[in-house]
Structure 1
Amino acid sequence: MRAPWNGPAKVLDGKATAAQIKSELAARAKALQARGIEPNLGTILVGDDPGSKAYVAGKHRDCAEIGIKSTQVELPGDVSTEDVLAKVQELNEDPTVTAYIVQLPLPKQVDTNRVLLAIDPAKDADGLHPLNLGKLVLGVNEEIDSPLPCTPRACLELMTRYGIELGGKNICVVGRGVTVGRTFGLLAGRKAVNATVTTCHTGTKDLTSHTLAAEVIIAASGQPGIITPEMVQPGAIVLDVGVSRVSQGEGKPARLSGDVADGVDQVASYLSPNPNGVGPMTRALLLTNVVEAAERNAQ
């Protein structure tokens, strides 16, 4: 029988928290600029996918908001792998570009792995280059001497800014994608955080038994409404990270949906909404990676 819980959940407002982080980054960028160092985020966008174009445009707006430069490279959707690699090499060699991203997904004819491996690890704004992930596995970037994965770091930063102590807590991550699921466990398992993380996926038997045992749930599977109220222990902290498109019928635009179903807010103690939860935080932490890279270059 469930223990009583006096809901509803408090909102983990990622939009407001991201605005606070960007204000702090603006001050750090201004200090760098006073020393003659100009942070600059580069982006490579291939094709005309509306979602990717909107996402990249948002990154450039964020740069303008905190007062740093941005460099945008756009390529047609029918380019070859070699064409994309040539642009990657240009940004690797461009001393004015601090860090950059290649917007995913890339068209089918482009070898995504070759492209991502070609990025200079020191300019990896997403924190997902194999060398940087290897440093995370080995624990050699505990002091953030290389970029960290943006979305897992955004999850941790959002909870930290709300005063949530994660040391010793049991965390269940639903989803094993490299951008969130697998990398969140690496970040939260560091001594600096000291949480115990269980990663669940399509091969997990009895998902509910794992989520009910968790004090924190990171829902990142991309399955609409997969986390229901019955799967959450009273008072747990829930972050809705997954995003998927749900059809509303012929002639109607698909709607965006998170992983957390209606009613969870009456069971959880804290809940990040979707949208305006982890999404804005991820963009803010991408900017953090850029500013931190500039600060490392300045040492």
Structure 2
Amino acid sequence: MSHFTRAAERLNVAQPALSQQVSALERELGVDLFERHGRRVVLAAAGERLLARAEVILAEVERARIAVQDEPDAPSGTTVVGALNSLVTTLLTRELPRFHHCFPQVDVAIHEATPVEMLRSLREGTIDLALSDDRLGDGSTALERRPLFVEELVVAVPTGHRLTRHDRLDPKDLVGERFVSYPRGSVVREVLVSLLRAEEHEAHILHECSTPEKLVASNLGVALVPRMTAEAAVGNVIVRRLRRPPSRTIGLFTVRGRHLSDAAGAFVNHDWTQGRAENGA
């Protein structure tokens, strides 16, 4: 705008009043926002910088206005979610961006934990809900469970391992192997132990951790892991399926009768299986 007079007309204010406001702003900032050439004015460098920031701020204000007016009842706030490590690094890593796109005003705080830790946290109210396998709900009538999906368990082996010669494995093929597995209390670990005991052998578990696929990549053993975990593994890891695939059921758990915030309700009601379907899982 080359003249304050024209600017005043567009703003529907008196030209002297506009000039006074500009001068007052320049005094407050301690810089000249305009270069004045008689009646003609142009933005100074400081004015250009201020204009760029002002345009960003005004655009954000407009987006906020639209969000409030168009979706006055949209869920907002923060929900605290407990989750197994194997779900934090796979399902949540992949699906949280889609959730935030659907619910931009909801923040999700993730607490990685074991089923035992999540059960305690649910009872104490330090988490709103838990994303876990069925071990969390064993024998507890205080929890409500919403099943999400059934996930196949597969065998992860290092590149070049003898088991890579088979397209499909039988439990007897695992006899004599050195295993890395999840800590005690894990459903996946219990399935591994049961598979070997059915062959009248004990699982030889050398190492346990929350990310056994990483130990497999380091040639420290073989692991039974959830399929999503195996497919997300990088490097020296080959996946082999069992002929009669074992599985685990993943669900969302809440305390029965406890009121959920709008943010927690949005998390519970979101379709967490859409991305799996799109990826053919």
TM-score, scaled to structure 1: 0.28
TM-score, scaled to structure 2: 0.29
Larger Rg, first or second structure (1 or 2): 2
